[in-house]
Amino acid sequence: MDNIIKYVTSHQFMIGVCVFVAILVIYFLFKKLIKLALLFILVLIIFGGYLCFKEPEKMPKSLSETMQRAKESTRSVVEKGRGVYDSVKGAYKKAEKLVTRDFDKYLEPDDKPVRGK
């Protein structure tokens, strides 16, 4: 084991080869995970179709309720996101004013940046 480590550290090309092989392994693992996720989604769709076929009177009602809950939760998340965005935007503008005001104090008259329109 020590000989392998010594060989790899003394030969820079081998480090590059090892990194390349590691990247390939990671790529193929993610590729298989994506295929597995697509297969899982397909199984869920088939299962939903089975439930719809087995009890069709329950599916439209529960499906519309689920869609309504999803719309409401999405709306609330979007509103929270807008609130966070507005607060961060306000904080950014305040910080920008403070930084530019203090920054201009320390510059020489010929070093001051030209502000665009």
State both tokens at 77.
């998340």
Q: pLDDT tens for residues 58-113? A: 666 676 787 788 888 889 888 888 888 888 888 888 877 776 666 666 666 655 55
Show Cβ contacts of residue 52 under 8 Å, excluding neighbours closer than 6 positions.
Answer: 59
The pTM of this model reads 0.35
Q: How far apart are CA 44 and CA 48, in angstroms?
A: 6
Are 5 and 19 in a shared domain? yes
According to the model, what pLDDT value does residue 42 have? 93
Apex CA 52: angle with CA 46 and CA 57, to 5°?
A: 175
Are 73 and 26 in a shared domain? no
Last residue of a domain, one of 37, 54, 71: 54
Task: Identify the band that residue 43 occupies on the pLDDT scale cut at 50, 70 and 90.
Answer: very high
Are 102 and 114 in a shared domain? yes
Task: Identify the band that residue 16 occupies on the pLDDT scale cut at 50, 70 and 90.
Answer: confident
